Amino acid sequence: MNSLTYDAVLFDFDGVIVDSEPVHFACWRELLETVGIRLGWDFYQAECVGIAERPMLDLIARHAGRPDMTDRLLDFYPQKKAMFRHKMAELLPVSPGVTDLITELRGYRLAVVTSSGREDVQPVLEQAGLMDSLDALVCGHEAGALKPSPAPYLLAAERVEARRPLVVEDSEAGEKSGRAAGFDVLRVKQSSEVAEAVRGRLRLGE
């Protein structure tokens, strides 16, 4: 699709707008160590990014050889959320170049689409000064289903009245969600690539 035909850019949050996956990982690693489970970054990055908490914890429990632990690990979730919010407020790990990129994209309708809860996402966007630049924010189960369902991206496109959005994702589940919605997906490996990759796809500055 020609870049000039896009009318919106729909961003994932974790790993795209913010480099938050290492923060999620650090929180879970610390909590899981209390029950004797060692969580490695390579496994987490390959298997746990972009999926909901229960299937993620089920994967971790099975990988650790303790498949009966999923429900117990879920009990850590409220503690993990509180720990994550504290670390995010302290670190504010907005991806390099994202603030300038959002300013350059004023001709496009913009949204953030994430499986994370609004209570975790909106404060970070507000603190980073990005919330006012967005036309929509779709979080958690607000669309009725999580990625890889197309529902979150379809709802975001509806809210910003976009017919030809570009989806920016870093995870397999997110890419499947965007493509299932019928949209072009720009897949990045890490958040530091986002600004340059989006500029290249949209041919900004040409």
Catalytic site residue from 14, 19, 120, 170: 14
* 12 given a catalytic annotation: yes
How many CA atoms lie within 13 Å of 49's alpha carbon, on the beta-carbon side? 27
Catalytic site residue from 7, 12, 68, 135: 12
Q: What is the dihedral of CA 127, 130, 136, 141, to 10 degrees?
A: -40
**Contact 59/18 with Cβ under 8 angstroms?**
no
| Cα–Cα distance, 9 to 14 (Å, whole number) | 16
Query: Residue with structure tokens 């958040």?
Result: 191
* 42 given a catalytic annotation: no
Question: What residues act catalytically?
Answer: 12, 14
